């Protein structure tokens, strides 16, 4: 009996070893080399960046291209990039490091990690014509890491979610934020509107700045400069659409904007129209010179239109 028990125990031990060994050899292999830098290029080598973002019903495409030393968004609109956020995104893409990694042998298993085919895809091109593809999948169950795939290889990398904050911003956040670009010294006329009506109009001539509406009188250059220079740093927080159509104007309560300003100079104009509706802390707005509807700070609007513009009427 003792011999039979010993034999049975030995059989079970062999089975356990085989099962354990099978798991050891078939489980995903974790990398023993954490903090691997995934791209060795310098940011100065990169000349083109494309980003795809898979959303519920759409696949959003954004492209950026270098012209000389300047970067431009070239899709879905053509304009200069955000001077800070874009370069943080580029720096992140060129320096992203993995915390850990494992190998996935079966192509069908990639879907379990958000690669069907991806949540975000970045394709970078350098001056030598080389390409580098970074796919971003789901976050891990603990919400601490993103899964990454490089150039379609079998390795599934992981990087902390905070490492990718600057590359997963809304498309419109990478656009140029300044609204007014006519040089201040070249301004010839400024008109302020409130609830669809002109409330103040000032012009400049050989004698200096003068109010022509609602009354006619000369203004001191100092008072005009202090007000207008306060308007000039006015910036877009982020874009909501790339279109300005009647339906979007109705949707964002911009058919009859509450606030408006028109700057005229150099044979052209800069305009800004702002709704009385918006998101928390922000108001919907659009400009005739920018493609899309965006939001601006509600506090800045209140300060600039009500406090500053009213100074002309004193």
Higher-confidence position of 11 and 155: 155
- What is the mean pLDDT of the segment spanning 141-145? 88
Domain-ending residue, one of 172, 203, 238: 172
Portion of the chain with pLDDT greater than 90, in percent: 68
- Give the model's pLDDT for residue 253: 96
pLDDT at 27 over 50: no
Residue 17 has pLDDT above 50, yes or no: no
Asked if pLDDT for residue 81 goes beyond 90, the answer is yes
Q: Are residues 197 and 157 in the same domain?
A: no
How far apart CA 254 and CA 295 sit, in angstroms, is 12
72 found inside a domain: yes
User: Is the alpha carbon torsion for 163, 166, 167, 169 positive or negative?
Assistant: positive
The number of domains in the chain is: 2
- Tell me if 16 is assigned to some domain: no
When mean pLDDT is compared across 188-192, 230-234, 257-261, the lowest value belongs to: 230-234
20 in any annotated domain: no
CA dihedral 100, 106, 109, 114 (to 10 degrees): 60
Residue 290 falls inside a structural domain: yes
123, 151, 172: which is the final residue of a domain?
Answer: 172
Q: For the purposes of burial, counting CB atoms within 10 Å of the CB of 117, is it exposed (0-12), middle (13-18) or buried (19 or more)?
A: middle
Q: Are 221 and 229 in contact (CB under 8 A)?
A: no
- Output the DSSP codes for 213-269: ESS-EE--HHHHHHHHHHHTT-B--EES-S---HHHHHHTT-SS-SEEEEEEETTEE
Q: Are residues 194 and 258 in the same domain?
A: yes
Q: What pLDDT shows up at residue 310?
A: 64
- Residue 43 in this model has a pLDDT that exceeds 80: yes
Please indicate, yes or no, whether residues 222 and 265 belong to a single structural domain of this protein: yes
pLDDT band at 216; cut points 50, 70, 90: very high
Q: Is residue 135 domain-shared with residue 96, that is, in the same domain?
A: yes
Band of pLDDT at residue 23, cut at 50, 70 and 90: very low
Mean pLDDT of 171-190: 92
Q: Do 196 and 306 lie in a common domain? A: yes
The pLDDT tens digits of the residues spanning 93-115 come to 988 888 889 999 999 999 999 99
Looking at the structure, do residues 195 and 72 belong to the same domain, yes or no?
A: no
Query: Quick one: 77 and 117 in the same domain?
Result: yes
Segment 156-175 mean pLDDT: 94
Residue 26: what pLDDT?
43
Domain end point (choices 172, 204, 238)? 172
As a dihedral over the C-alpha atoms of residue 313, residue 306, residue 200, residue 245, rounded to 10 degrees, the angle is: 180
Same-domain pairing of 121 and 60: yes
pLDDT tens for residues 181-196? 998 889 999 999 999 9
Is 55 in the same domain as 107?
yes
pTM, full prediction: 0.79
CATH of residue 89's domain is: 2.60.40
Q: How far apart are CA 135 and CA 115, in angstroms?
A: 8
Say if residues 149 and 110 touch (Cβ distance below 8 Å). yes
Per-residue confidence (pLDDT) for residue 55, from 0 to 100: 84
DSSP bridge pairs for 60: 53
The reply to whether 107 and 133 lie within a common domain is yes
Q: Flag whether 74 is in a domain.
A: yes
Residue 144 domain flag? yes
Asked whether residue 4 is assigned to any structural domain, the reply reads no
Chain centroid to CA 83: 12
CATH of the domain at 197: 3.30.1490
Mean local confidence (pLDDT), 274-301: 94
26 found inside a domain: no
What is the residue-averaged pLDDT of the chain? 86
**189 & 163 share domain:** no
Whether residues 128 and 103 share a domain: the answer is yes
The average pLDDT across 152-164 equals 93
State which residues form the domain around 51.
36-172
Whole-number Å distance between alpha carbons of 286 and 244: 8
């Amino acid at each position: 009996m003792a011999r039979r028990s010993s034999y049975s125990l030995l059989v079970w031990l062999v089975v356990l070893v085989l099962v354990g060994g099978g798991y050891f050899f078939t489980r995903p292999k974790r990398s023993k080399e954490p903090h691997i830098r995934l791209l060795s290029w310098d940011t100065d080598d990169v000349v083109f960046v494309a980003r795809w973002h898979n959303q519920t019903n759409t696949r959003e495409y954004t492209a950026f291209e270098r012209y000389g030393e300047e970067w431009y968004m070239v899709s879905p609109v053509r304009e200069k990039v955000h001077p800070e956020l874009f370069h943080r995104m580029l720096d992140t893409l060129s320096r992203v490091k993995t915390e850990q990694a494992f190998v996935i042998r079966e192509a069908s298993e990639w879907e379990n990690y958000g690669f069907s085919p991806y949540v975000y895809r970045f394709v970078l091109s350098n001056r030598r014509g080389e390409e580098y593809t970074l796919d971003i999948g789901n976050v891990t169950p603990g919400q601490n890491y993103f899964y990454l795939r490089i150039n379609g290889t079998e390795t599934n990398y992981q990087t902390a979610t905070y490492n990718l904050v600057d590359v997963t911003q809304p498309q419109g956040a990478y656009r140029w934020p300044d609204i007014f670009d006519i040089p201040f010294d070249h301004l010839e006329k400024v008109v302020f509107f409130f609830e669809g009506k002109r409330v103040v109009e000032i012009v400049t001539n050989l004698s200096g700045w003068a109010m022509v509406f609602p009354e006619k009188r000369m203004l001191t250059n100092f008072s005009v400069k202090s007000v207008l220079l306060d308007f000039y740093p006015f910036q877009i927080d982020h874009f909501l659409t790339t279109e300005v159509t009647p339906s979007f104007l109705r949707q964002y309560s911009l058919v009859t904007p509450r606030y408006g300003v028109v700057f005229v100079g150099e044979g052209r104009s800069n305009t800004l129209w702002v709704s009385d509706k918006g998101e928390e802390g922000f108001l919907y707005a659009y400009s005739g010179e920018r493609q899309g509807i965006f939001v601006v700070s509600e506090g800045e609007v209140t300060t600039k239109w009500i406090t500053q513009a009213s100074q002309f009427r004193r």
